Amino acid sequence: MLKMAANKNKDNLGEMPVTTLQGVGPRNAERLERLGISSVQDLLFHLPSRYQDRTRIVPIGSLRPGEQVVVEGEIELNDVKYGRRRSLLVQITDGSGSLILRFFHFSAVQKGNLVRGVRLRCFGEVRRGPTALELIHPEYSRLDDSDEHAVEETLTPIYPTTEGMHQLSWRSMTERALAMLDEQPELLQEWLPPELLERYNLPALLESLRFLHRPPPDAPQHLLLEGAHPAQRRLAFEELLAHQISLRKLRHEQRRTAAPILDGETQLKAALLASLPFMLTAAQQRVVAEISTDLKQQHPMMRLVQGDVGSGKTVVAALAAIQAVEAGHQVVLMAPTELLAEQHLRNFQGWLEPLGVKVAWLTGRHKGKKREQILATLADGSADVVVGTHALFQGDVQFHALGLAIIDEQHRFGVHQRLALREKGAEKGRVPHQLIMTATPIPRTLAMSAYADLDLSVIDELPPGRKPVATVVIPDSRRDEVISRVRSACKAGRQAYWVCTLIEESEALQCQAAEDTAALLTESLPELSVGLVHGRLKASEKEQIMLDFKAGKLDLLVATTVIEVGVDVPNASLMIIENPERLGLAQLHQLRGRVGRGSAESHCLLMYHLLSERARERLSTMRATNDGFVIAQKDLELRGPGEVLGTRQTGEMQLRIADLIHHQPLLPEVQQAAEIILEHYPDHAQPLVKRWLGQKTEYGAV
Ligand code: ADP
Ligand code: MG
């Protein structure tokens, strides 16, 4: 099977390029690369998404609509029908009944071949036709009397694919890879010790792979489709384990590096607290204390602060910043968008500059001379705090003495970027402390897995006096009423958001929808000033509009979901969300968090177009609660995959087989198993990480 018999240097499937397999040339290798498959091992970890049963020939007389089946029969009739669409109809029978094969595209040759008396084997999905059961465009082959025609011995795997790769190629590639393993099972090491396999009731690796690529005819397809088969669980388990181990190692390394001890005066901190127009909530106080203790250690803090929208994370960040500044160090605060960076800048300036702290700012907009000037203040230490965006990651940004990096809404940044920032601050072998803030409520077990390299603080309390946003679910046939509601709110001096949503379609369509809506609303509400923001505007245009809205120059802001994160306009007390049925609960919650920030009673109108039973249930959760954690939990139950962590976050973990939501019940076991491996089988740790994270492991070594 191998082109080169036993290549001694490549004694491991993970190192063996796919081109080692016969029939896989550079063209296919390139296509596979698009799916992240470069080694034979990657190929085997690319699992079928479903299966077909071609193991049995089903008697025509017993067919039911909806089944995918193999049938055999002899052609009785062949006819071309000229209806709305020209089609070739071929009727076959096997004695138990007859069936029509319908082709919309066919050639003269094909028609000439499919004549009375010819025997066929067909595969397709049974549909109910006008007169009889039909197969539309079945796969078929001619049977000759002389030959034996075997049916498939296993279920037929259907692989997720990419352009130019046919299912037949997938089958032959995986066939070859499996055959190679038959000959040399040692090519794929079992890294889970028998002790663990037994304890967690997991089948062996090789057995699992073979099963999933070629399930026996009686395999439980419903379990396979749900990803709940033990063979799938086994692979998911190993993958999650590899991630867990890598994050734990990362955490270990962290704890071994040195960080500046940020333990100085506390006068400025006290002055900042005294100057605030409010008292910190108990939750804020607790988290501030946790951070403060961390900053005084000689190892870098790596802390994730979770707090629902509006829980007051910014002031917590400012208190951390001032501790670093009082200890003679610099602080960088990074936000995912210019808009948010700007907002933080203004908060920080307002709080810190009166205390003599110098706050600078750097975004992609700062160019040339201006940029150089800013960079100089960072490098010579005359700026104490710098607020900005991705621009802060750039190579020429140097600090005099960076002590603390704060990252807001971290899911927009990856682990790598975080680490890059950390490297920046490294002075005399010391790396800055890191504080990461997110508004996405993540259930604890999930957080402990996705962020096993971080400590977790939760601000689980909103400032007092917040009135929950009253939420109503309303059909879009009542749009006129909704519009008059906007009119009266704005006449009373309040402001409103109108959010247009379209998911799974292009950003261009989404912007178009927002533009149309804005035009319509401008026409219906001539007495109001209406603004529009969407993703296709330049950052500076977007920002100007947001600033105008913040300053009260605009009454109504029509927007796409770009306003989802962090924007704070307390005077806005009404939000309309169009087609909320298309969004996940977590996202709706984030959006709704834009209102209810001031003293006025706030309202959110979820204006739906069509509600399924499920969507109704989801929206009623929004009506029933304002608590981000409750909503996240509900989301998990109702929507499952992707929604709670958000694709941005799951994307960070780059899971191939496991799914953090679906396999959540495995997580406690995975954590336990990681401990066992690290303690008793340390030699297995690195190969496991390498197998599943491959090149992405270099960060484990920093
Ligand atoms: P988020 O956690 O969503 O980032 P912010 O930091 O933007 O929340 O805070 C939301 C609003 O609440 C801001 O206007 C902030 O000044 C205010 N705030 C923060 N903490 C308190 C508090 N303890 N009491 C009253 N208001 C507070
Ligand atoms: Mg915020």
Distance 313 CA to ligand 2 centre (A): 6
**Is it the case that residue 153 has pLDDT exceeding 60?**
yes
Query: Which has more pLDDT, 689 or 428?
Result: 689
One fold for 252-459 and 470-625: yes
Q: Helices (DSSP H) in 571-641: which residue ranges?
A: 585-592, 613-624, 628-638
pLDDT tens for 289-331 read 999 999 999 999 989 898 888 889 999 999 999 999 999 999 9
Distance 462 CA to ligand 1 centre (A): 8
If one residue of 273, 304, 314 were mutated to test the ligand 1 pocket, choosing by the most ligand atoms within 8 A of its CB, it would be: 314
- The domain locations on the chain are 1-53+157-214, 56-151, 252-459, 470-625
**Third-level CATH fold of 252-459:** Rossmann fold (3.40.50)
* The one-letter amino acid at 666: L
pLDDT tens for 427-473 read 667 889 999 998 776 666 667 676 777 888 999 888 887 888 999 99
Q: What is the dihedral of CA 64, 66, 67, 68, to 10 degrees?
A: 140
Mean pLDDT of 158-166: 89
- Reported as half-sphere exposure (CB side, CA atoms, 13 A), residue 353 has a value of 9
pLDDT tens for 375-403 read 999 999 999 999 998 888 787 888 999 99
Atom number in ligand 1 closest to CA 408? 4
How far, in whole angstroms, is CA 293 from its chain's centroid? 33
**Third-level CATH fold of 470-625:** Rossmann fold (3.40.50)
C-alpha closest to that of 85 among 99, 102, 69, 63: 102
For the chain, the first-to-last Cα distance in angstroms comes to 40
Give the integer Cα–Cα distance in Å for 292 and 271: 16
Report the chain's C-alpha Rg in angstroms: 31
| pLDDT band, residue 409 (cuts 50/70/90) | confident
- The confidence score (pLDDT) of residue 301 equals 93
Contact indicator for 379, 617 with CB cutoff of 8 Å: no
Which residue owns the Cα nearest ligand 1 atom 24?
Answer: 463
- The confidence score (pLDDT) of residue 5 equals 42
Atom number in ligand 1 closest to CA 313? 2
* The one-letter amino acid at 207: E
Residues 6+ apart with CB under 8 A from 605: 471, 472, 474, 482, 485, 574, 575, 576, 577
Which residue owns the Cα nearest ligand 1 atom 13?
Answer: 312
- The confidence score (pLDDT) of residue 641 equals 38
Distance 316 CA to ligand 1 centre (A): 9
C-alpha closest to that of 290 among 276, 306, 274: 306
Decide whether any atom of ligand 1 lies within 6 Å of the 314 Cβ. yes
CA-CA-CA-CA torsion sign (516, 521, 523, 529): negative
SS3 498: strand
Q: How many residues belong to the chain? A: 702
Beta strand spans in 83-221 (E): 86-93, 98-103, 119-128, 133-136, 139-143, 156-158
pLDDT tens for 186-231 read 999 999 999 999 999 999 999 999 999 999 999 998 899 888 899 9
Give the integer Cα–Cα distance in Å for 570 and 277: 15
Which residues in 588-601 are b (16+ Cβ under 10 Å) and which e?
bbbbbbbbbbbebe
Decide whether any atom of ligand 1 lies within 6 Å of the 596 Cβ. no
pLDDT tens for 335-380 read 887 778 888 999 999 999 999 999 999 988 888 999 999 999 999 9
**Is it the case that residue 651 has pLDDT exceeding 50?**
no
Give the integer Cα–Cα distance in Å for 273 and 323: 12
What single-letter DSSP state applies at residue 427? B
Decide whether any atom of ligand 1 lies within 6 Å of the 315 Cβ. yes
Helix or strand holding residue 82 (H, E): strand 68-82
| pLDDT band, residue 74 (cuts 50/70/90) | very high
Query: Which has more pLDDT, 335 or 483?
Result: 483
Give the integer Cα–Cα distance in Å for 521 and 562: 19
Two tokens at 194? 């028998």
pLDDT tens for 259-286 read 999 999 999 999 999 999 999 999 999 9
- The confidence score (pLDDT) of residue 549 equals 92
Ligand with minimal distance to 463 CA: 1
- The confidence score (pLDDT) of residue 699 equals 39
- The confidence score (pLDDT) of residue 247 equals 84
C-alpha closest to that of 628 among 389, 503, 442: 442
CA distances from 332 to 227, 258, 341, 378 (A): 43, 18, 11, 10
Contact indicator for 566, 334 with CB cutoff of 8 Å: no
CA distances from 316 to 176, 280, 323, 575 (A): 57, 9, 11, 27
CA distances from 22 to 162, 180, 350, 519 (A): 20, 11, 67, 60
Helix or strand holding residue 234 (H, E): helix 230-256
Give the integer Cα–Cα distance in Å for 330 and 610: 52
Neighbours of 553 (CB within 10 A): 11
Which residue owns the Cα nearest ligand 1 atom 19?
Answer: 312
Residues 6+ apart with CB under 8 A from 112: none
* The one-letter amino acid at 522: T
pTM summary value: 0.68
Mean pLDDT of 60-75: 93
Mean pLDDT of 672-693: 93
Contact indicator for 557, 482 with CB cutoff of 8 Å: no
Contact indicator for 632, 442 with CB cutoff of 8 Å: yes
CA-CA-CA-CA torsion sign (214, 217, 219, 225): positive
Give the integer Cα–Cα distance in Å for 695 and 689: 10
Two tokens at 672? 């336990």
| pLDDT band, residue 652 (cuts 50/70/90) | very low
Residues 6+ apart with CB under 8 A from 8: none
SS3 306: strand
Distance 684 CA to ligand 2 centre (A): 41
- The confidence score (pLDDT) of residue 640 equals 47
Least confident of 166-180, 337-351, 621-635, 669-683: 621-635
Mean pLDDT of 405-412: 76
Distance 591 CA to ligand 2 centre (A): 13
- The confidence score (pLDDT) of residue 445 equals 66
SS3 87: strand
If one residue of 438, 568, 569 were mutated to test the ligand 1 pocket, choosing by the most ligand atoms within 8 A of its CB, it would be: 568
Mean pLDDT of the chain: 86
Contact indicator for 38, 56 with CB cutoff of 8 Å: no
Beta strands 68-82 and 86-93: pairing type? Answer: antiparallel
Give the integer Cα–Cα distance in Å for 533 and 544: 10
If one residue of 315, 347, 408 were mutated to test the ligand 1 pocket, choosing by the most ligand atoms within 8 A of its CB, it would be: 315
- The confidence score (pLDDT) of residue 478 equals 95
Give the integer Cα–Cα distance in Å for 189 and 383: 54
**Third-level CATH fold of 56-151:** OB fold (Dihydrolipoamide Acetyltransferase, E2P) (2.40.50)
Residues 6+ apart with CB under 8 A from 313: 305, 307, 408, 437, 439, 459
Mean pLDDT of 50-57: 92
No. of H helices and E strands in the chain?
24, 21
C-alpha closest to that of 569 among 591, 587, 551, 586: 551
**Is it the case that residue 96 has pLDDT exceeding 80?**
yes
**Is it the case that residue 643 has pLDDT exceeding 50?**
no
SS3 302: strand
Give the integer Cα–Cα distance in Å for 456 and 246: 18
Mean pLDDT of 242-251: 86
Least confident of 5-19, 509-523, 591-605: 5-19
